[in-house]
Amino acid sequence: MQEKRTLHRARALIVSLSLTASFLASGAEWKIDPRLSFRAGYNDNLRLSTTNEVSTAGATFSPSARFSVATPTSGASGNLRFDFRRFEADSDLNDDNIRFEANSFHNLERSRLGLDLAFVKDTTLDSQLAATGLVFDRVPRQRTTIAPEWSYSLSERTRLSANYGYTDVKYNNSGANVFVDYTVNNAQASLTRMMSEQTTASITLSRSESKNDNDIKSININLQGGASHRFSETLSATLFAGVRRTEVDFSRTSLQPVFNGTTIVFVPVTQAFTNSDSGYTFSASVTKNFLRGETGLSVSRGISNDINGQPIEVTRLSSTNRYRLSEIMSVGLNLELYNSKFSSIAGNGQDRNYYQIQPTFTWAFKQFWSLSGSYRYRKQTFSGSGGDATQNAAYLTLTYDWPRIAVSR
């Protein structure tokens, strides 16, 4: 049944992409950039677990392609990637993952219509971890997203936009774990004003509603405003801040003692709860380009529904740094820090801190060929409980970038 649902979703996305492609076909120029990658390495705690640690060597073969198509009034772009992962310690860890993303638009006289599509099949230690900094177990996960959008130019400097998004997430559960399927509906409206050639300001009102198979429902409303500014050709920054209100409805069943006249029996009683709270949201970033490198620093706080559809307040600090030693050799250092808190008593006791440090290098040793390496240290700490989960992993990746395929018709 799970495979049938996956096939239906994949077919729906392919049909949508085909319709977009046929819509753009007249006078279109196609560009396709294929890539082949092979990665091998070792991970001393694949599940990032405090108890069930699995140390294993592994290898991944990843064919992928980026594509784009454009006409005078329309366009589409996206990427398709497969990851075939195999592990030495246990064949049950092997998985075949896919990531498909497509974005399309059509320009009218003063407005633009758009449609974003995505289908991601991976594990909870991939895209879910990147969104929340939370790890409970390594479980296969499928996420389907459809997001139409519209924007209208009120003037040369002012634009009004609105979009809607639908997300459906399924977990391939095996055994006891904390994951349940969920859906998310979200909508937002934005007003953007170009204040000058260097500064753009905007204000956004958004609303998201989620529901999971345990009948936990949540609504999050967020109002945020701010601006982006380019100080020079090499220095730019953004700053946005706002307020949110989050409401969660859920139920709990407990056994209550009841005297039936002769003895005491325990009867299951279900109680409904509503929990609401408010808070601040923000995002800020600074990017600086140097003669032989670039560095970026960002910090943000917001609500994520990426685990079971339950609202989680995620505060994230990240730093990306890259330096080119020569025309063919570069090194990098990426740092990430997450603080994740469940925004309701339904998720009490599951708050975490997550850290990641990852130095890298890339060597473009031949035309179309490159060799890259990385070491990654991860650590997750738990609020209110002992024991930290740590992970050390090292990888080498050989990549072949196929020459671009360009087709005009």
Q: Token digits for 343?
A: 């925004």
Asked whether 171 and 181 are in contact (CB, 8 A), the reply is yes
Closest CA to 370 of 403, 328, 325, 327: 328
Taking only the tens place, the pLDDT of each residue in 272-298 is: 678 888 999 999 999 999 999 999 999
Beta strands 405-408 and 389-401 are: unpaired
pLDDT of residue 60: 97
Question: What is this structure's pTM?
Answer: 0.84
Q: Where do the domains of the chain lie, and which CATH numbers do they carry?
A: 2-408 (2.40.160)
Burial of 368 from C-beta contacts in 10 A (0-12 / 13-18 / 19+): exposed
404: DSSP letter: P
Tokens of 24: 């753009």
pLDDT at 269: 59
Check if the beta carbon of residue 7 is closer than 8 Å to that of residue 58. Answer: no
Buried b / exposed e over 245-262, threshold 16 CB at 10 Å, is ebbbbbeeeeeeeeeeee
Q: Please answer whether residues 84 and 98 qualify as being in contact, where contact means their C-beta atoms are separated by less than 8 angstroms.
A: no
Burial of 135 (0-12, 13-18, 19+ CB in 10 A): buried
Q: Phi-psi category of 178—alpha, beta or left, where left has phi over 0 and alpha has psi -120 to 50?
A: alpha
| Spans of the chain below 50 pLDDT | 1-7, 10, 13-15, 17-19, 22-24
pLDDT at 2: 44
Q: 18: how many CB neighbours lie within 10 A of its CB?
A: 10
Q: Is 217 exposed, middle or buried (0-12, 13-18, 19+ CB in 10 A)?
A: middle
